[in-house]
């Protein structure tokens, strides 16, 4: 259970009788908070949510908004602006997050949308809770928050909260070099598509591409990138392979190295162990990872041939193949 959830659990007296919308929910245990009624909005395909979307909609019966502090500051602005743009009257709003996650700086953003300095409510488990009144504002369309940049004749589109927002990640850049020098066989699955950098680059080569991401915001960004360039690919909101149809000749990925604010390789290990079930005979996995991590050992547990295809001082591109 997240520490922010534990802090909210302490607010039984303040939550009694309230009908709350929790924004950017990051923990399934939030559904057990002691409120009269809860709606959970969030971004992640691996959580039991009422709304899985880049930005929330406010149900008609809501009288309390609870924003879980996102990692990206720009995402907080997008969420608060969207909420304020959907209000017809002021509404109580709470902001909760880890003390080391930037919540003090986020108070200035909160104050801009609340019209006043937020009030400190509680502090525990290295987390803090503040409340204020979110005031109505002009609607804030998603297009206001899209960041665009160019790459090899393509226009990439990103939204706040997407990995490497508004720029090309160095690891992805190294993987792109490998994919351009040795084009993969299709159909291809891009796992963790982010802003659609790999998806669009592969689709532009004429390959059949499917893309997945656990983040609804990343899925929206990839679809924007494809539309911007007149390209086609299937894009699914999925916890790794959960919503993936069929099998593929090639899997390619720059797997996540964080879960929220925590460094983790658990997602990558699961991605690798489950990969053979989604590959055709002779299929391959192309994966870029930081130097110094034991990806080679994990890959050799599940693949017949494993080699470093390309590397620099920071990253390695691994190529792992199944027996034909």
This prediction has a pTM of 0.94
Tokens of 312: 């620099």
260/131 same-domain check: no
Q: Which residues on neighbouring strands pair with residue 93, listed in sequence order?
A: 65, 132
Are 121 and 28 in a shared domain?
A: yes
| pLDDT band at residue 264 using 50, 70 and 90 as cut-offs | low
What percent of the chain lies above the pLDDT cut of 90? Answer: 91
CA–CA distance, 303 with 155 (Å, rounded to integer): 35
| Residue found by looking up tokens 């953003």 in the block | 109
Residue 185 and residue 162 in contact, taking contact as beta carbons nearer than 8 Å: no
Q: Are 179 and 134 in a shared domain? A: no
* Same domain, yes or no: 113 and 253: no
DSSP-derived secondary structure for 127-147: EEEEEEEE-------GGGG-E
Those residues whose C-beta lies under 8 Å from the C-beta of residue 250, and which sit 6 or more positions away, are: 184, 185, 186, 187, 188, 189, 283, 284, 285, 286
**277 and 245 in contact (C-beta within 8 Å)?**
no
| Least confident segment among 104-118, 202-216, 235-249, 258-272 | 258-272
On whether both 281 and 172 belong to a single domain, the answer is: yes
Same-domain pairing of 195 and 62: no
Which CATH number do you get for residue 163? 3.40.50.150
Query: Does one domain contain both 58 and 103?
Result: yes
- 118 and 244 within one domain: no
Q: Of 113, 140, 167, which marks where a domain is finished?
A: 140
Q: What is the pLDDT of residues 295-307, one digit of tens each?
A: 999 999 999 999 9
Portion of the chain with pLDDT greater than 70, in percent: 98
* Co-location of 121 and 184 in the same domain: no
Give yes or no: residues 168 and 317 share one domain. yes
Same domain, 185 and 163: yes
Residue 200 shares a structural domain with residue 242:
yes
* Mean pLDDT calculated for residue range 53-80: 96
Asked if the peptide bond before residue 100 counts as cis, ω within 30 degrees of 0, the response is no
Please confirm whether the linkage preceding 187 is cis (ω < 30° from 0). Answer: yes
Domain that holds residue 240: 146-321
């Amino acid at each position: 259970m997240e520490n922010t959830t534990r802090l909210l659990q302490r607010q039984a007296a303040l939550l009694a009788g309230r009908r709350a919308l929790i924004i950017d929910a990051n923990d399934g245990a939030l559904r057990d908070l002691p409120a009269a009624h809860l709606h959970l909005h969030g971004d992640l395909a691996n959580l039991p949510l009422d709304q899985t979307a880049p930005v929330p909609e406010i149900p008609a019966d809501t009288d309390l908004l609870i924003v879980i502090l996102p990692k990206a500051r720009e995402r907080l602005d997008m969420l608060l602006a969207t909420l304020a743009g959907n209000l017809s009257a002021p509404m109580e709003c709470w902001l909760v997050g880890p003390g080391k996650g930037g919540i003090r700086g986020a108070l200035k953003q909160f104050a801009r949308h609340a019209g006043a300095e937020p009030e400190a409510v509680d502090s525990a488990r290295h987390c803090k809770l503040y409340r204020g009144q979110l005031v109505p504002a002009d609607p804030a369309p998603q297009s206001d928050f899209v960041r665009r940049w160019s790459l090899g004749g393509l226009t990439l589109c990103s939204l706040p909260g997407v990995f490497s927002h508004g720029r090309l990640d160095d690891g992805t850049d190294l993987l792109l070099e490998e994919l351009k020098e040795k084009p993969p066989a299709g159909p291809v699955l891009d796992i963790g598509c982010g802003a659609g950098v790999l998806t669009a680059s592969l689709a532009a080569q004429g390959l059949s591409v499917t893309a997945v991401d656990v983040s609804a915001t990343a899925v929206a960004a990839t679809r924007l990138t494809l539309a911007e360039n007149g390209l086609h690919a299937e894009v699914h909101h999925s916890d790794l392979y959960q919503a993936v149809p069929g099998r593929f000749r090639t899997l390619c990925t720059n797997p996540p190295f964080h879960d929220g604010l925590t460094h983790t390789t658990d997602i990558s290990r699961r991605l690798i162990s489950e990969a053979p079930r989604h590959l055709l005979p002779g299929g391959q996995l192309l994966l870029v990872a930081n130097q110094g991590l034991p990806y080679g050992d994990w890959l050799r547990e599940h693949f017949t041939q494993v080699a470093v295809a390309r590397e620099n001082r920071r990253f390695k591109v691994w190529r792992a193949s199944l027996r034909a």
